[in-house]
Amino acid sequence: MTIQELDAIRKKKKPLIDVRRVVREQGEKLAAKTGYRKQVLVCGGTGCTSSHSMKVIAQLEASLKELKIDDVLIVKTGCFGLCALGPIMIVYPEGAFYAQMTPEHAKTVVEQHLVKGGSIVKELLYQGTVAKDGTIIPFAETPFYKKQMRIALRNCGVIAPEDIEEAIAAGDYAAIEKVLTSMTPDDVINEMLASGLRGRGGAGFPTGRKWSFAKASQGDVKYVCCNADEGDPGAFMDRSVLEGDPHCVLEAMTIAGYAIGAHQGYIYVRAEYPVAVERLKIAIKQAREYGLLGKDILGLGFDFDIEIRLGAGAFVCGEETALMTSIEGHRGEPRPRPPFPAVKGLFGKPTILNNVETWANVNPIIMNGAAWFAKIGTQTSTGTKVFALGGKITNVGLVEVPMGTTLREIVEEIGGGIPGGKKFKAAQTGGPSGGCIPAECIDTPIDYDSLLAIGSMMGSGGMIILDENDCMVDISKFYLEFTADESCGKCTPCRIGTKRLLQLLTKITEGKGESEDLVKIEELASHMKQSSLCALGQSAPNPILSTLRYFRQEYVDHIEKKHCDAGVCKALLTYSIDAEKCRGCTLCARNCPTHAITGKVREAHVIDKDICIKCGVCMQNCKFGAVVRS
Amino acid sequence: MEHCEACGTAEQLEKLQEVIASSKDTPGCLMHILQEAQAIYGFLPLPVQKVIAEGLNISLAEVYGVVTFYSQFSLTPKGKHRISVCLGTACYVKGSDKILAEVEKELGIKCGECTEDGLFSIDSCRCVGACGLAPVMMIGEDVHGKLTPEMVKGILDSYKKEDKA
């Protein structure tokens, strides 16, 4: 394909995309030009397909056909972000935001809204977009979206990711055109350096520097890799980018290939993400057909191609050297650095590896300039960051905010607070390698350096919100179970250290802790940080160290008072029956799996603590609130 | 190839040989071949690993090393319906450990095991990325979200019924 042909596609499809970027009156005018009276965007991300958005699409198609409506376009997009309310569907040009759709609802929307002269079905909208007086608030102005700034996610939920022409119309592949026609490799690297973009995978290494090292490395063969092995449990930013806008990653890797002199790229993606893998495959196939990958891209003389490699479930493969070893087809064990991948990486050749979200920022930097990007965020952490908000938060989903946004803004405004009127206790960032941000630090700006200073880390972007019912010792134990399980076993400090830390934590949660255990934990943690081979072992103690820093009293209570305030650690709980409240209905005794409860009908019952296994069934069953946990 | 008769049909072996032949010249192809082999056989018993080792002219130890390194590869057969309970952080704080316990209780097997009739096997996994629906479990390709322990029996029953029908 030539530049002229690329331009023609842009011209043809752009009005269609523009309708989705503006709302209301303007949108209606634009819509008239597209030939489609309405466009219905249905989320086809993993979250929404899991809650059956494909059935919604099927019903929409069937109902439209039945009513012979042919000027409504149905588009299967990537993630809109508000996963808790899935399946989500947006109707343009109005921008009507329908949530928790079912096939029945879809039928109603077709019959009442999508028909000629129809109007929005208010009852089915996301109620956050309906004001008290019944007027409809544009969804971009709801608290969830208002504070967000979408750069990496700019096309997610806007385009059909399986249609390269929509991606082109939305701006993808404009940057590769600009780079190949008007920039030298050095220009590209300087632009990346000036943007201040830092790796979004966790460590935050400046992307431009990485590229300049690889460019400086001698060698006829070099590689460009994309880390899409999103292993942090509770993080799904990269998956959403791949599902919503796979072409932006392909384009960015091609640009990097041009900058460092590489002609082959690899995307290492988790096999647990079938939807993302499928979309990537389609995207690569289409890009090759359109001459945007392969030989002589855009007729401008540069060759670059990309292959997909599937992971097979190993957390350590998110580490760069382990990932490359895995692409080479071996056990995914890390190796010592230096030599760094920029000198000796995949198959022994100079290689750059960036994470999906990092790649997603490349096109906007090239198109809008480094100066524009550097103005967003803070001085040392430029741009935006995508977070996967999860855990005890109302608006579970994907949010992208400028660096430097405070945790309070994310939790209280965007996230909509903690459900059930519970109290915010901490936010866990960085997953098994990260730490927690306690309630007293809720006004901390979220950027690389501020998080490090308070003992957490940015990580890849998982943000799990914890409330008063979560026990911090138990959370640490959860992460240690994870790292002990995922430690590859190559180096001793990590292999044995994670096991020993887990044993100590288990001992404490079982009520067998001794006061010197905390000293042992801290000593072992410091050894592991200093002597483990890769980031997995070096950062495995972080969840413990950061909870010890802010919630030390909880550990002390577990050890000295044998008490778990949150009521999570089973071994430390006792169940008893309040004789005053007990009516002797026998329901608890009949449901007790170990027959630990005795008592006559209409007389107060008693729990035998020696037999009780603390399952809590009695408490769930009691209608009079007579079972007490302490 | 007498050692493969114990664990599969001639068609399966033929498919495997095709996969090996078509990808053996790609650098780093072992992982891909193992993934395909697992798709063909459902698991990776030693005889299958031997065929792969011979086909690629590498040692069985190397193949076995890779198989046992990655959690997705299995040395034992799995059930017709593979249950995978997510124990990622978002699911864990919403009580997925209780979901797993309920599934184990309902089927009378432990995580990592397969029921005697070969219908169900249970595994735990780390995040399927559907955190908005936490706690989540997958059965085959289906995702079941926003679970409570009370829902487990009904869901399992629906799969049992489907098999009888």
The reported pLDDT for the residue numbered B3 is 45
Taking the Cβ of residue B3 and every Cβ of chain A, the question of whether any pair is shorter than 8 Å is answered with no
Share of chain A above pLDDT 70, in %: 100
Mutate to test the interface with B, among A79, A82, A83 (most CBs of B within 10 A): A83
Looking at the complex, report in whole angstroms how far the Cα of residue B151 sits from the nearest Cα belonging to chain A. Answer: 16
Residue B4 has pLDDT above 50, yes or no: no
**Cβ B73 vs Cβ B44: under 8 Å:** yes
Mutate to test the interface with B, among A46, A50, A394 (most CBs of B within 10 A): A50
Residue A524, C-beta contacts closer than 8 angstroms, at least 6 positions apart = A497, A500, A501, A504, A541
- Report CB contact under 8 Å: B132, A397: yes
Chain A residues touching residue B67 (CB < 8 angstroms)? none
- Report CB contact under 8 Å: A466, B93: yes
**What pLDDT, in 10s, does the model give residues A335-349?**
999 999 999 999 999
- What whole-number distance in Å separates Cα of residue A446 and Cα of residue A377? 10
Residue B142, strand partner residues: B139
> Which helix (H) or strand (E) is A66 found in, with range?
helix A53-66
Chain A residues touching residue B29 (CB < 8 angstroms)? 329
Average of per-residue pLDDT across A434-462: 92
The reported pLDDT for the residue numbered A24 is 62
- What whole-number distance in Å separates Cα of residue A433 and Cα of residue B89? 13
- Report CB contact under 8 Å: B131, A239: no
∠ CA A610-A611-A616, nearest 5°, is 110
Interface ipTM: 0.91
- What whole-number distance in Å separates Cα of residue A413 and Cα of residue A406? 10
pLDDT classification of B164: cutoffs 50, 70, 90 = confident
Q: Which of B121, B137, B140 is nearest to B86 (CA)?
A: B137
- Report CB contact under 8 Å: A390, B89: yes
DSSP A275: H
Looking at the complex, report in whole angstroms how far the Cα of residue A330 sits from the nearest Cα belonging to chain B. Answer: 6
When CB atoms are compared, the residue of A347, A392, A396 closest to B131 is A396
* E strand residue ranges, chain B: 81-86, 120-125, 137-139, 142-144
The reported pLDDT for the residue numbered A23 is 60
- Please tell me which residue of chain A has the smallest CA distance to B138: A50
Looking at the complex, report in whole angstroms how far the Cα of residue B11 sits from the nearest Cα belonging to chain A. Answer: 25
**Average pLDDT of chain B to the nearest whole number:** 91
Looking at the complex, report in whole angstroms how far the Cα of residue A424 sits from the nearest Cα belonging to chain B. Answer: 14
**What pLDDT, in 10s, does the model give residues A174-196?**
999 999 999 999 999 999 999 99
Looking at the complex, report in whole angstroms how far the Cα of residue B9 sits from the nearest Cα belonging to chain A. Answer: 26
**Cβ A460 vs Cβ A235: under 8 Å:** yes
**What pLDDT, in 10s, does the model give residues A577-605?**
999 999 999 999 999 989 999 999 999 99
Looking at the complex, report in whole angstroms how far the Cα of residue A36 sits from the nearest Cα belonging to chain B. Answer: 32
Q: Which of A94, A82, A85, A108 is nearest to A31 (CA)?
A: A94
Taking the Cβ of residue B140 and every Cβ of chain A, the question of whether any pair is shorter than 8 Å is answered with no
- Report CB contact under 8 Å: A233, B31: no
pLDDT classification of A233: cutoffs 50, 70, 90 = confident
Chain B residues touching residue A430 (CB < 8 angstroms)? none
When CB atoms are compared, the residue of A230, A330, A431 closest to B66 is A330
The reported pLDDT for the residue numbered A203 is 85
**What pLDDT, in 10s, does the model give residues A516-556?**
999 999 999 999 999 999 999 999 999 999 999 999 999 99
- What whole-number distance in Å separates Cα of residue A379 and Cα of residue A52? 43
pLDDT classification of A332: cutoffs 50, 70, 90 = very high
Looking at the complex, report in whole angstroms how far the Cα of residue A272 sits from the nearest Cα belonging to chain B. Answer: 6
Position A194: which residue type? A
**What pLDDT, in 10s, does the model give residues A507-517?**
999 999 999 99
Taking the Cβ of residue B55 and every Cβ of chain A, the question of whether any pair is shorter than 8 Å is answered with no
When CB atoms are compared, the residue of B29, B72, B130 closest to A271 is B72
pLDDT classification of A25: cutoffs 50, 70, 90 = low
**What pLDDT, in 10s, does the model give residues B106-156?**
999 999 999 999 999 999 988 887 888 899 999 988 889 999 999 999 999
- Report CB contact under 8 Å: A313, B71: yes
**What pLDDT, in 10s, does the model give residues A91-125?**
999 899 999 999 999 999 999 999 999 999 999 99
Residue B59 has pLDDT above 50, yes or no: yes
Q: Which of A213, A185, A427 is nearest to A340 (CA)?
A: A213
pLDDT classification of B1: cutoffs 50, 70, 90 = very low
pLDDT classification of A257: cutoffs 50, 70, 90 = very high
**Average pLDDT of chain A to the nearest whole number:** 94
What residue has token string 């969830």?
Answer: A144
Residue A22 has pLDDT above 80, yes or no: no
Residue A429, strand partner residues: A435, A463
The reported pLDDT for the residue numbered A30 is 83
Let me know if B116 is exposed, middle or buried by CB neighbors in 10 A (0-12, 13-18, 19+): exposed
Residue B5 has pLDDT above 60, yes or no: no
When CB atoms are compared, the residue of A233, A331, A475 closest to B66 is A331
The reported pLDDT for the residue numbered B142 is 87
When CB atoms are compared, the residue of B65, B90, B129 closest to A273 is B129
Residue A498 has pLDDT above 80, yes or no: yes
Residue B7 has pLDDT above 70, yes or no: no
- What whole-number distance in Å separates Cα of residue A321 and Cα of residue A332? 8
- What whole-number distance in Å separates Cα of residue A89 and Cα of residue A77? 10
